Amino acid sequence: MDLENQKRVKDLTEEYGPENVVVLLGAAEGEASGIAAETVTAGDPTYAGPLTGVSLGLVVYHVCEDEVKEEFDPDVYDEQVSMMEMVLDIDEIAEEMQAIREEYTKY
């Protein structure tokens, strides 16, 4: 997660409260999704951005997880995400996201 997005997440969390913020990711790999998820839950693991040492504990999901997929209009999901979904390792991403939520999510 780049430094600008870290700042946005931090600012939104301060404005609305961490219990009211859900982060939705769309990275193409489980590892990349995991790093971004860890950043918004436990703090920036690279120690380079605004979330360094900041444990927000936010709820975080990947757009391809079943819990999120169910919330979309199926036609919109098909148009916007389904092509990407065909080349992703959805199980790996879902496992990575679930592990991060279990370990770091506070809300």
The per-residue pLDDT for 66 is 95
Measured CA to CA, the distance from residue 88 to residue 70 in angstroms comes to 18
Positions of the chain with pLDDT lower than 50, given as ranges: none
24: Cβ contacts below 8 Å, ≥ 6 apart: 60, 61, 62, 63, 68
Span 93-104, pLDDT tens digits: 999 999 999 999
pTM: 0.92
68-85: pLDDT as tens digits: 999 999 999 999 999 999
The domain of 20 spans 3-104
Strand partners, 61: 24
The whole-number pLDDT of residue 25 equals 97
Q: Which residues pair with 60 in a beta bridge?
A: 23
For 45, residues 6+ apart whose C-beta sits below 8 A from its C-beta are 35, 38, 39
Residue 42 in tokens: 């436990």
Domain total in the chain:
1
